[in-house]
Amino acid sequence: MTDTAEPTTETRASSTGSGAYAELVAGLRDANNRGHTRPLAWRRTQLEAILTMLDENEGELVRALKEDLGRPAMEAFTADIGGTRTEVKHILKHFESWATPRKVSMPLTVQPAKGRIIPEPLGVALIISPWNYPIYLLVNPIAAAIAAGNCVVAKPSELSPACSAVLARLIPKYLDDQAVSVVEGGVRETTALLAQRFDHIFFTGSTNVGRIVMQAAAKHLTPVTLELGGKSPAIVAADADLDVAARRIMFGKFLNAGQTCIAPDYVLAEASVRDKLVDKMEATLVEFYGDDPKHTSDFGRVVNEAHWKRLKGLLDTSEATVAVGGQTDEEDRYIAPTVLVDPAPESAIMQEEIFGPLLPVLSVESVDEAVSIVTGRPKPLALYVFSGSSATAADVLERTSSGGACVNHCVMHIVPSELPFGGVGPSGIGAYHGKLGFDTFSHLKSVLYKPQKPDPKLMYPPYTALKGKIVRKAM
């Protein structure tokens, strides 16, 4: 995911800097050490409060998403508010069973004994969220951290200021302020926060900023979850249903005006169907947004002027044929949903994550060539393959590596709570959603229980030949 404001690894003290944040984190750590967040009843109350917050303030959250991103009300609900509600409800249904000690069978060598894995809270977590899905990508990890019994410092993005302000006001109103704090601000505040010692840092954003977060975390040996980005490909085989592929790729790409970390970043279509696919993409965009997408209420806007200029630069230097779209309006932060054909391979649009409503479509001679292109690049956050052949899809999945994938659809793998969501390599470290989110914010402590009797002397010195024979047979 692309950011414009990056924290540095240097500490910058201010009235809202290291001193204030050290005190903030110390207070949260004290609450955690006192066991304030451990009772399952407390966790349930907080998770229910999150749902109440979303339900009672849905209209205000939708308006904030509209102000920051021009988000249509339908997208605001499904992608941010409704998606968050679904995940929190899933956590509420299962977190008590996830928190229960897990039985583990013990080998003969330690018998008689019992083994348990006991999930325990890590302590105080820092959650830094991005601007593109400012509700979903902040509240979901907060819910996972609370379910695991942690205290939380939540840092919404300053690039979605309306959503940041609403969340900063609502979260303390609904959640326990002894355990959950919200810090607003930009680079200075994020940098000062990163100078503190946390027990886990959960960051969603760009790969470049992820490196900075990881460097800051390393000073305290703090574990991290990094949800990053990259150029996620869509491969379209000649035997794909092109009507379906066009609709689903257009939906996945132009949701939130292309500002989605798992949006298809470029399409590799077999040459025999590429032009037909592009034609169907054009028809689909008219079906979705009409002849003039600028004046529909169903298409959003680029988040700010800096991102608009970056995207305009990618478009202008692509050396591609514009198949559909291409219109821009800086004052309105508008870039039309745009399909580009055959951009220059060395152009910035083919080297950088686009993170906006521009979609390059390239021809390949075969699925094998598409796989070679994908594997020649850094591992992406998502990969999409469209084919009528399950064997072709399985072959692509076997030969490529990505954080997640869909066969014959785009972006929908983020929806099921039982499917882990995360990257691989430069597209991310760690994953969450459902039980894996609970485990991400937990230490899974191994405990072996032994009775006091019997206490055979087999393992104790002196080590005799007979003891050695018995041990070797047992092991």
The parent domain of residue 431 ranges over 18-229+424-447
**Residue 108 has what pLDDT?**
87
Tell whether 156 and 265 lie within a shared domain. Answer: no
Q: What residue spans of 148-204 are helical by DSSP H?
A: 161-174, 187-194
pLDDT tens per residue across span 147-201: 999 999 999 999 999 999 999 999 999 999 999 999 999 999 999 999 999 999 9
Tell whether 206 and 289 lie within a shared domain. Answer: no
Alpha-carbon torsion, ordered 213, 219, 223, 227, to 10 deg: 10
Residue 3 lies in a domain: no
Residue 461 lies in a domain: no
| % of the chain beyond a pLDDT of 90 | 93
Tell whether 407 and 442 lie within a shared domain. Answer: no
Residue 346 lies in a domain: yes
Tell whether 442 and 373 lie within a shared domain. Answer: no
Which of 254, 243, 252, 232 shows the shortest CA–CA distance to 277? Answer: 243
DSSP codes, 245-256: HHHHHHHHHHGG
**Residue 6 has what pLDDT?**
52
**Residue 14 has what pLDDT?**
37
Which of 238, 266, 207 shows the shortest CA–CA distance to 384? Answer: 266
Tell whether 376 and 307 lie within a shared domain. Answer: yes
Bridge partners of 197, per DSSP, are none
CATH number of the CATH domain containing 322: 3.40.309.10
**Residue 1 has what pLDDT?**
63
Residue 471 lies in a domain: no
**Residue 308 has what pLDDT?**
98
DSSP letter, residue 80: I
Residue 474 lies in a domain: no
Residue 154 lies in a domain: yes
Q: Which of 371, 399, 416 finishes a domain?
A: 416
Residue 257 lies in a domain: yes
75, 87, 189, 227: the active-site residue: 227
Tell whether 203 and 222 lie within a shared domain. Answer: yes
DSSP codes, 97-154: HHHSPEEE---GGG-S-EEEEEEEE-SEEEEE--SSSTTHHHHHHHHHHHHTT-EEEE
Tell whether 84 and 147 lie within a shared domain. Answer: yes
From CA 232, how far away is CA 311, in angstroms rounded?
17
Tell whether 27 and 174 lie within a shared domain. Answer: yes
151, 163, 261, 410: the active-site residue: 261
Tell whether 221 and 157 lie within a shared domain. Answer: yes
Element (H or E) spanning 22, and its range?
helix 18-33
Q: How many domains does the chain have?
A: 2
Bridge partners of 116, per DSSP, are 103, 447
**Residue 7 has what pLDDT?**
57
Tell whether 441 and 358 lie within a shared domain. Answer: no
Residue 7 lies in a domain: no
Tell whether 159 and 264 lie within a shared domain. Answer: no
From CA 388, how far away is CA 338, in angstroms rounded?
27
Model confidence, pTM: 0.94
Output the tens digit of pLDDT for each of the chain's 475 residues.
666 455 543 333 334 557 899 999 999 999 999 999 999 999 999 999 999 999 999 999 999 999 999 999 999 999 999 999 999 999 999 999 999 999 999 998 899 999 999 999 999 999 999 999 999 999 999 999 999 999 999 999 999 999 999 999 999 999 999 999 999 999 999 999 999 999 999 999 999 999 999 999 999 999 999 999 999 999 999 999 999 999 999 999 999 999 999 999 999 999 999 999 999 999 999 999 999 999 999 999 999 999 999 999 999 999 999 999 999 999 999 999 999 999 999 999 999 999 999 999 999 999 999 999 999 999 999 999 999 999 999 999 999 999 999 999 999 999 999 999 999 999 999 999 999 999 999 999 999 999 999 998 888 999 999 988 988 888 8
Q: Which of 416, 433, 455 finishes a domain?
A: 416
Q: Which of 416, 432, 467 finishes a domain?
A: 416
CATH number of the CATH domain containing 168: 3.40.605.10
* 227 counts as catalytic: yes
Q: Are 420 and 428 in contact (CB under 8 A)?
A: no
Tell whether 409 and 432 lie within a shared domain. Answer: no
Token pair listed for 175:
């959640």
